[in-house]
């Protein structure tokens, strides 16, 4: 298949949460413009068409250190010791073995090679949509075969998207055909079972030099990130003996490394092989491997979840081949959950699907093992257990929740194993798996009566290594949920390599109207529970409300009309898009708004790969003022409320909010997680005021909010009107007014906040006031913030503003200015309107990187027109230095790494007015929203592409 065609197909398979949207999501339109012909008609001959113009190059220069071998093709060769970014718009070729870092040499200490050279630690960053092609071996031998090798100490940050995966392949057309280049090798400092010293220099397979720990055990070693990555056509020779290289080799890679949405396709040797280490991986596909699809050795003890293996009829290997090898202890015994195996091999090959040997263990939960209907080989056994692995059965070798379908003949599901599994085989159902087009088992046994309890698993099997914080608690067998309407592997994997999903009909929920295929409209007020299921798009016609709590209530929860308070829950499934329709009469009176009133709940829980997206009805996710926004009102605290019963008028025409039975600071309005709110800010009244992206009216701390982005809003991004709700992992980009605003005694906690302002905006990164009443003050705690300031030309020269008596505790803050801003910035904060009286009691700055002016001077910490004495907020923890933000927006300034983590208990003791919630806030040891060590680029993959 032509690669350009495949990329078009890949681009059309949008991320579940982004389908139908441009600006990074949605349908891809390819426009081919023909030359114009202005000739006449009616017998007058038209002039000959002009020659088709040559396409203009995209003018993306090749990165330094690469060679432009033809237009938009950049060649890498040799070893790279410094950072390199492969930017989108070019194709990149590998000439021979390309290495990053010198950590493949023997080391004598954590930072030094045995030859005395310093260890180099470059990062290779690869942007979404990039293709990397291994060139043919120049002399036809393994010695010149193309390989990409990330050595210990180096990092790879290859983060694609569902629309634009990163693809490694050979230089020919298409993605089919093994043995055309080498593969990807990543080596780290992680555990290995031959290593019992502080420093280990272990020889890697594939000619990859040395790997292993150099500072004692480092199980959380971080080699970077692979996300939405396809590795195809590899497996070239690696030595004169005829051995081939794996598609992906992971040598001593630690669990600080992140791997998800990864496919290895058509590899001549193993698909993925783990040599020790304990790296985890989710959403893995291995198709067409000619040897083992997944192989582990040498004490590997990571976690794998959501794995599809589809073997090749031309191959000779197992779906999983497992050994301990290296040394007898520690064992290889990873936890593997939610697996679908479609077995296949060449004719007359081994009749088993997977093999444990050389003392390997392994915990396999929620597994579908079935056989390809067209396989030329005869299968009769799920697992061969040999080579000493028999001794692990029941302790470190366990099968739990299986659909056993391991033979070709109809009605014959084969045997489970070559040994008696006894009590080590739990809930094994011998039945036809009956996979559907999504690769989900439709057998009745595929749905479990309850979700997995990983803590209970670990308690039941003392040798289990299940990471309860990493593994999802699923309630089904197989890699794909039988209830799913889409497949997580669809759209970004090689077209046809797993299958061809068929559309699943999904009904609109009761109370909505189907306005087009899989488009459901919400309108009016809902007083009963509703679930917006994945697979449909949902539209908001005007102001849509849940519950009647916006009305004036009495202490018993009745409205003035005598109606009882209703408490519906709106549940929104991962990947759902909710679109606000255009105001039908062009005024605020019919603008689309989603309003969750007090008493009601919203449970909008997306995932990193399937966020829930609120936007307007047009294509794309850019452009403010296109619909209203999301309003949530609760029974939480507000500073105008001094009675047990309060009915406070909300902004935005949202009716009433506030407590009705005394103070309820921990009031619960639901959950927002992995939610994007884009393009909002429509008019809310005849005065021309716009609505915020997310308005939180008296929302209590029982509400959970994390991984939220507000993008391109015409008014504020997020505004807190009183309440105590806490937020982690928040992103506000492109707000045309304030990015974060609080009033009326907001006292929650925020941690990990990125604000990137708009060059078309006029507002502050943070605007803060107490307002409403003078007491109690607004004085939240905000920690780990990165601000990239921007405004329209000739706007205010400060980045944030405290006014109307507001306080606030700001810890671990990077404040910097966009390099291309049209505005002139001179200071970090303006403190006015009585807020100056709070300095160093309820208004505190702690651990700042101050870079608040365009001229590189750092600017003033407090503006010249601030209240007298406001500059006393400055202290020795304010450092004037350029933050040196890297590709993941982490500060690489030396000052960004603190000598010790924050101690929230001590901070509360030092500042009696501090509101730091010690059970909510993490004790971080870095300044800014993203850890400088690169271990958690938490915003990558789910935010609007290009917004950061």
Query: Residues 287-324: pLDDT tens digits?
Result: 999 999 999 999 999 999 999 999 999 999 999 999 99
Q: What is the mean pLDDT of residues 134-146?
A: 85
Q: Which two tokens stand for residue 427?
A: 């809930």
Tokens standing for residue 116: 């005395």
Using alpha carbons, list the distances in angstroms from residue 457 to 281, 404, 446, 447, 764. 19, 21, 19, 18, 50
State the Cα–Cα distance between residues 292 and 315, nearest whole angstrom: 8
∠ CA 498-502-505, nearest 5°, is: 145
Average pLDDT, the chain: 92
User: Does the pLDDT at position 4 exceed 80?
Assistant: no
pLDDT-based confidence at residue 391 (cuts at 50, 70, 90): very high
Closest CA to 612 of 579, 569, 577, 571: 577
Query: Look-up: residue for tokens 């997680």?
Result: 673
Task: Indicate whether this model's pTM tops 0.85.
Answer: no
3-state helix, strand, coil split of the chain in percent (to 5) is 5, 35, 60
Q: Is the pLDDT of residue 14 over 90?
A: no
**Alpha carbon distance 49, 34 (integer Å):** 10
Quickly tell me which residue has 């009675």 as its tokens.
643
CB 343 within 8 A of CB 406: yes
- pLDDT tier at 506 (50, 70, 90 boundaries)? confident
Q: What is the pLDDT averaged over residues 376-401? A: 97
Asked if the model's pLDDT at residue 491 lies above 80, the reply is yes
DSSP character at residue 254:
-
So what's the pLDDT on residue 707? 98
Percent of the chain residues topping a pLDDT of 70:
94
Q: How far apart are CA 248 and CA 244, in angstroms?
A: 12
Residue 373 has pLDDT above 90, yes or no: yes
| 617 within 8 A of 654, measured Cβ to Cβ | no
Q: Give residue 138's pLDDT band: very low, low, confident or very high (50, 70, 90).
A: confident
| DSSP letters spanning 362-403 | EEEEEEEEEE-TT-SS---EEEEE-TTGGGGBTTTEEEEEEE
Predicted confidence at residue 6, as pLDDT, reads 31
Cα gap 16→6, rounded to integer Å: 19
Tell me the sheet residues that pair with 202.
211
Alpha-carbon gap, residue 801 to 820, rounded angstroms: 22
Checking if the pLDDT of 103 tops 70, the result is: yes
Q: Rounded mean pLDDT of 808-822?
A: 98
Task: Give the span between the Cα atoms of 351 and 414, in whole angstroms.
Answer: 10
Distance between CA atoms of 941 and 258, rounded to whole angstroms? 12
What is the structure's pLDDT at 29? 30
CA distances from 131 to 134, 337, 563 (A): 10, 31, 61
Q: Looking at the predicted structure, is the pLDDT value of residue 55 above 60? A: no
> Alpha-carbon distance 727 to 711, whole Å?
17
* Segment 763-805, tens digit of pLDDT: 999 999 998 888 899 999 999 999 999 999 999 999 999 999 9
> According to the model, what pLDDT value does residue 662 have?
87
Question: Which is more confidently placed, 172 or 36?
Answer: 172
Residues above pLDDT 90, as percent of the chain: 85
Q: pLDDT for 459-482, tens place per residue?
A: 999 999 999 999 999 999 999 999
- For residue 3, pLDDT over 80 is answered with no
Quote the pLDDT of residue 109: 96
Q: What is the DSSP letter of 574?
A: T
Number of residues that make up the chain? 948
Residue 315 in contact with residue 264, Cβ under 8 Å? no
Q: What tokens were used for 611?
A: 């966020």
User: How far is Cα 54 from Cα 38, in angstroms, rounded to an integer?
Assistant: 20
Q: What are phi and psi of 552, to 5 degrees?
A: -70, 130
Please tell me the predicted confidence (pLDDT) of residue 633: 98
Hey, how many other C-beta atoms are within 10 angstroms of the C-beta on 582? Answer: 17
CA 653 to chain centroid, in Å, comes to 35
Q: With 60 as the cut, is the pLDDT of residue 546 above it?
A: yes
Helix (H, G, I), strand (E, B) or coil at 528: coil
pLDDT score, position 144:
85
DSSP strands (E only) in 641-763:
648-649, 656-657, 670-678, 694-697, 704-711, 718-721, 726-733, 740-743, 749-756
Q: What is the pLDDT of residues 210-226, one digit of tens each?
A: 999 999 989 999 999 99
Element (H, E) at 148: strand 147-150
Quick one: average pLDDT of 619-625?
A: 93
pLDDT level of residue 58 (50, 70, 90 thresholds): low
Which residue stretches of 150-195 are H helix?
none
SS3 for 870?
Answer: helix
| pLDDT per residue as tens digits for the range 867-897 | 999 999 999 999 999 999 998 999 999 999 9
pLDDT at 22: 29
The pairing of beta strand 513-516 with beta strand 519-526: antiparallel
Three-state SS letters, 293-350: CEEEECCCCCEEEEEEEECCCCCCCCCEEECCCCCCCCCCCCEEEEEEEEECCCCCCC
């Amino acid at each position: 298949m032509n690669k350009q065609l495949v990329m078009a197909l890949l681009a059309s398979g949008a991320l579940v949460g982004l389908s139908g949207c441009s600006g990074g999501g949605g349908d891809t339109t390819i426009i081919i413009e023909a030359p114009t012909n202005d000739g006449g008609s009616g017998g007058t001959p038209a002039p000959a068409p002009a020659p088709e113009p040559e396409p203009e190059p995209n003018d993306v220069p090749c990165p330094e250190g690469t060679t432009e071998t033809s237009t938009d093709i950049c060649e890498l060769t040799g070893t790279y010791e410094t950072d390199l970014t492969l930017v989108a718009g070019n194709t990149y070729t590998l000439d021979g073995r390309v290495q990053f870092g010198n950590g493949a040499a023997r080391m004598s200490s954590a930072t030094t090679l045995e030859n005395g050279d310093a260890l180099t630690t470059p990062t290779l960053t690869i942007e979404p949509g990039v293709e990397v092609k291994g060139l043919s071996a120049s002399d036809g031998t393994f010695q010149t075969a193309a390989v990409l090798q990330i050595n210990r100490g180096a990092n790879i940050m290859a983060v694609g998207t569902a629309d634009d995966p990163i693809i490694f392949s050979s230089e020919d057309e298409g993605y089919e055909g093994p043995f055309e280049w080498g593969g990807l090798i990543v080596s780290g400092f992680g555990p290995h079972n031959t290593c019992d010293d502080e420093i280990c220099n272990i020889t890697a397979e594939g000619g990859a030099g040395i790997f292993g720990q150099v500072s004692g055990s480092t199980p959380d070693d971080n080699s970077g990130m692979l996300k939405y990555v396809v590795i195809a056509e590899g497996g070239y020779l690696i030595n004169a003996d005829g051995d081939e290289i794996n598609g992906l080799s992971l040598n001593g890679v630690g669990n600080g490394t992140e791997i998800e949405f990864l496919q290895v396709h058509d590899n001549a040797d193993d698909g993925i092989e783990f040599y020790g280490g304990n790296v985890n991986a989710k959403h893995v596909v291995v198709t067409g491997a000619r040897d083992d699809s997944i192989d582990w050795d040498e004490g590997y003890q990571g976690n794998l979840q959501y794995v599809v293996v589809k073997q090749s009829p031309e191959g000779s290997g197992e779906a999983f081949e497992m050994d301990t090898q290296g040394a007898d202890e520690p064992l290889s015994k990873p936890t593997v959950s939610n697996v679908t195996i479609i077995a296949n091999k060449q004719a007359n090959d081994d009749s088993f699907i997977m093999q444990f040997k050389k003392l390997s263990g392994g915990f396999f939960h929620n597994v579908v093992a079935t056989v390809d209907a067209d396989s030329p080989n005869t299968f009769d056994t799920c697992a061969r257990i040999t080579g000493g692995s028999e001794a692990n059965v029941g302790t470190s070798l366990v099968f739990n929740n299986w659909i056993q379908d391991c033979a070709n003949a109809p009605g014959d599901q084969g045997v489970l194993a070559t040994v008696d599994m006894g009590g080590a085989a739990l809930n094994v159902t011998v039945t036809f798996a009956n996979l559907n087009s999504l690769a989900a088992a439709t057998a009745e046994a595929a749905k479990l009566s309850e979700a997995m309890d990983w803590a209970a698993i670990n308690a039941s099997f003392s040798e289990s290594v299940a990471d309860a914080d990493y593994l999802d608690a699923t309630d089904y067998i197989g890699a794909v949920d039988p209830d799913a309407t889409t497949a997580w592997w669809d759209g970004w994997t090689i077209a046809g390599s797993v299958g061809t999903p068929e559309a699943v009909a999904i009904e609109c929920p009761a109370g909505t109207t189907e306005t087009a295929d899989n488009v459901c409209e919400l309108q009016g007020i809902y007083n009963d529970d509703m679930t917006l299921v994945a697979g449909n798009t949902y539209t908001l016609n005007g102001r849509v409300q849940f519950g009647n709590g916006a009305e004036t209530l009495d202490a018993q929860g009745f409205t003035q009309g005598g109606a009882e308070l209703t408490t519906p829950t709106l549940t929104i499934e991962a990947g759902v898009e909710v679109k606000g329709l255009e105001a039908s009469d062009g005024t605020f009176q019919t603008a689309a708004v989603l309003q969750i009133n007090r008493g009601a709940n919203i449970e909008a829980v997306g995932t990193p790969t399937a966020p829930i997206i609120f936007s307007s009805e047009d294509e794309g996710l850019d452009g403010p003022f296109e619909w209203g926004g999301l309003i949530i009102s609760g029974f939480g605290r507000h500073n105008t409320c001094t009675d047990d019963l309060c009915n406070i008028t909300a902004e935005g025409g949202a009716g009433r909010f506030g407590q009705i039975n005394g103070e309820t600071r921990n009031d619960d309005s639901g959950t927002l997680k992995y939610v994007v709110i884009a393009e909002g800010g429509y008019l809310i009244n005849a005065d021309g005021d716009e609505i915020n992206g997310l308005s939180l009216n008296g929302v209590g701390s029982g509400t959970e909010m994390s991984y939220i982005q507000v993008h391109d809003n015409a008014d504020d991004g997020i505004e807190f009107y009183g309440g105590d709700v806490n937020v982690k992992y928040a992103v506000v980009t492109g707000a045309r007014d304030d990015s974060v605003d609080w009033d009326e005694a907001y006292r929650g906690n925020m941690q990990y906040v990125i604000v990137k302002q708009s060059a078309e905006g006029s507002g502050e990164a943070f605007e803060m006031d107490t307002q409403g009443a003078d007491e109690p003050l607004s004085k939240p705690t905000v920690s780990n913030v990165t601000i990239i300031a921007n405004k329209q030309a000739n706007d205010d020269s400060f980045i944030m503003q405290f006014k109307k008596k507001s306080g606030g505790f700001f810890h671990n803050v990077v404040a910097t200015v966009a390099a291309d801003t049209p505005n002139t910035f001179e200071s970090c904060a303006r403190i006015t309107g009585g807020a100056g009286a709070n300095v160093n009691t309820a208004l505190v700055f702690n651990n700042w990187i101050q870079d608040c002016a365009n001229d590189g001077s750092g600017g003033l910490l407090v503006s010249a027109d601030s209240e007298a004495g406001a500059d006393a907020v400055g202290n020795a923890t304010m450092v004037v230095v350029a933050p040196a933000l890297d590709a993941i927006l982490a500060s690489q300034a030396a000052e960004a790494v603190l000598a010790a983590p924050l101690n929230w208990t001590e901070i509360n003791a030092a500042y009696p007015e501090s509101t730091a919630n010690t059970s909510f806030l993490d004790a971080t040891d870095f300044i800014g929203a993203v850890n400088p060590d690169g271990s958690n680029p938490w915003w990558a993959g789910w935010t609007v592409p290009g917004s950061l």
